[in-house]
Amino acid sequence: MRPVRAVLGALLVLAGCDEAAPVTADAGAVDAGLAPLVDQPFVAPAPVLRRLTRAQYTNTVRDVLGDDVVVPRGLEPDVERHDLVAIGASEASVSRNGVEQYQSAAYDLAQQVFRTPARRARWVTCAPAAVRDDRCAETVLSSLGERLWRRPLDEAERARLVGVAGQAAAALNDFDRGLEYGLAALLQAPDMIFRVEVGDSDRLGPYALASKLSYFLWNGPPDPALLGAAAEGRLGTPEGLSAEVTRMLAAPAARRGVRAFVSDWLHLQRLDAVSRDATAFPAYGADLPGAAREETLRLFERLAFEDVDFRDFLTTRRSFLNRRLASIYRVAFPVPVSMATPETFAEVTFDESAPRRGLLGHASMMLMHAHPTSSSPTLRGRFIREDLLCSPMPMPPVNVNTAIPEPSPNLRTLRQRLAAHSTVDSCASCHRLMDPLGLSLESLDAIGRARLTDNGAPLDTRGDLDGRPFSDLRGLAEALRDAPLLPRCVVFKLYRYAHGREDGDGEFGEIVRLERQFLLSGYRFQTLVTALVTGDAFSRIGLTREGATP
């Protein structure tokens, strides 16, 4: 992960953890007022070819072919690079097994479309005059193609697909079977699987821009209205673009889009791999990680669309729980048991005295940043530094003994054991940045239950965040809320997520502008999103690596 810049042109290089301090010093300037705008020419990096993530492939297929189609589960897995799946998607290709999986899915989906009368009727709007009717096939396949490839098809492309369908229709003596092969070709084409961010000059073309907008705001494909705006050139004017963005943010799919960002930012996909020892945690069940993920997604989504201060995500006493989570958190579940299914999430507000606040109290975070049989202050502290404050921690040095002492009468709690361990300088310089933060979260165990003791000894949850002391999780949450690096971090994450790559040196001015807008709005997430997509940088593309415009 590339760290956020502390000051213009000076990358924060974490060769060791001792150099981490300047971040907070510089961030103080932001705290005092506004970051200075940077007068620096914007230089757009080269465009990227982005593979659809699994979620984007699924959303594309469902939005276009019908939200009741069954999307096959075996699909090429996402790749995370530089801490984001969105960036991995710009670096990964498709493996041979992945190509086979896309093929299987394509034929499966094609059958679902043309062998279900209601779905067929939506696309086959002409009556075929014969088993092979190229004109009718062209009508069907070009409208499907425009939606799946997110742009109109050119003549050669239409002819090619019509040829495939016609050959199949003739061989199988069935017009619809022919269309199945045509649709299978559409679904397997790189134009479906990849998003091609190209243009004619230093700007994305209108259709590429429409896709970039919709996959960012909706995590799905452009709808006909957005394609219409692209066709009419409306995305090229500030008013036209602004109108589309307003419309898109009001659409239900915008919630899906916000969730996709939070999921990627906080790596919520990793909850799929979480497991806990049933002996150590009898209350754990395989349903817990999914419920915990939903809590985190719902809270962020709700705060974003209520248009409140984004930083409430850290400190709010509100949350969204199902019955399972309510029992883990030991709070009353407001829905009668007879009316609640595992999918029933209800809003609750924790008491003032409750041990949890915002994200840090979520079972999702406690489940992800832990070991299968115990919590891990180091992993929790690393999560705060890296994911919330964008301060990457270096890899542990090699050839050092990494063991922590076993519990003993003198070293009962993890805090005591870690302290005994942190006497090696090369380890301590980083661990002192992570462990104290994680130790203040020891009041929650590795599945998110509150506790007062560790191994029979009372917990000491005091700590400090870069000089600001606090006494427990609630104090840490407040300290993080006030940390200038928190909003800056989310600006960087969102920018990288939107563009599918790390930010280049020539983009720093734009990022400072966004951070400023964010601050001026009182940290309204929607304002940040709007500023990002309506900014000049969103549609700019640079030279490809060979130096030629694409």
Partner 1 sequence: MSLRLSRRTLLRGMLGGAAVSVGLPPLECLMNQNGTAYAGGQAFPKRFGVWFFGNGVLPDFWLPREVGPDYTLSPLLMPLATHKPKLTLVSGTRVATINTGPHLSGPAGLFSGDAIQNNALAHATVDQRIAEVVGAETRFRSIETGIQPSSNSYSYSAPGQVNPPETSPFALYQRLFGEGFRAPGESTAPDPRLALRRSVLDAVGAQSQRLRGRLGSGDRQRLDQHLEGVRAIERQLQRLQENPPNLAACRRPEMPASDYPEQGGRLPVLERSRVMSDLMAMAMACDQTRVFFHMYSQPVNNVLFPNASAGHHQLTHDEPGAQPEVQAILRLIMADFGYFLSALDRVEEGDATLLDHALILCTTDCSYGRTHSLDEYPMLFAGSLGGAFRQGTHLRAMGENASKVMLTVLQLLGVRANEYGVGPGRVTDGLGGLVA
Subset of 265-304 contacting partner 1 (CB under 8 A): 272-273, 275-279, 281, 284, 286
Whole-number Å distance between alpha carbons of 302 and 319: 10
> Which range in 33-41, 108-116, 256-264, 305-313 contacts partner 1 by CB under 8 A?
108-116
Which of 171, 420, 424, 520 is close enough to bind partner 1 by CB under 8 A?
171
CA atoms within 13 A on the CB side of 186: 33
The CB-of-284 to partner 1 minimum distance in angstroms stands at 7
The amino acid sitting at 165 is A
Tell the smallest beta-carbon distance from residue 82 to partner 1 (Å).
7
Name residue 78's amino acid.
D
What's the closest the beta carbon of residue 96 comes to partner 1, in angstroms? 4
Residue 205 touches partner 1, criterion: CB under 8 A? no
Nearer to partner 1, 190 or 334 (CB): 190
Among positions 22, 334, 396, 522, the unique one binding partner 1 when judged by CB under 8 A: 396
Residue 160 binds partner 1 (CB under 8 A): yes
Cα distances (angstroms) measured from residue 272 to each of 146, 232, 286: 34, 43, 10
Give the shortest CB-250-to-partner 1 separation in angstroms: 34
What is d(CA 480, CA 474) in angstroms, rounded to the nearest whole number?
Answer: 10
| Closer Cβ to partner 1, 99 or 243, answer by number | 99
Binding to partner 1 (CB under 8 A) within 444-473 occurs at: none
Of residues 32 through 61, those in contact with partner 1 by CB under 8 A are 46-49
Place of tokens 């109109």: 152
Which residue number, 337 or 395, has a Cβ lying nearer to partner 1?
395
Binding mask 66-95 for partner 1 (x = CB under 8 A): ----x-xxx-xxxx-xx--------xxxxx
Q: Which of 179, 189, 299, 477 binds partner 1 (CB under 8 A)?
A: 189
Does the protein bind partner 1 through residue 179 (CB under 8 A)? no
CB closer to partner 1 out of 161 and 479: 161
Closer to partner 1 by CB, 315 or 539: give it: 539
Say which residues have a Cβ less than 8 Å from residue 8's Cβ, sequence separation at least 6.
38, 40, 508
User: How does DSSP classify residue 474?
Assistant: H
Residue-by-residue DSSP string for 184-220: HHHHHSHHHHEEE---SSSB--HHHHHHHHHHHHTSS
For residues 349 and 544, which CB has a smaller minimum distance to partner 1 in the complex?
Answer: 544
Residue 13 near partner 1 by CB under 8 A: no
Contacts of 412 (CB under 8 A, 6+ apart): 454, 455, 456, 457
List, as one string, the DSSP characters of 227-268: HHHHHTTGGGSHHHHHHHHHHHHHSTHHHHHHHHHHHHHTTG
Under rule CB under 8 A, how many of the chain's residues touch partner 1? 80
Position of tokens 């974490």? 14
Q: Which of 42, 66, 107, 290 binds partner 1 (CB under 8 A)?
A: 107
Closer of 93 and 344 to partner 1 (Cβ)? 93
The piece of 9-17, 182-190, 237-245, 456-464 that touches partner 1 (CB under 8 A) is 182-190
Burial degree of 351 (CB within 10 A; 0-12, 13-18, 19+): exposed
Q: How far apart are CA 209 and CA 145, in angstroms?
A: 18
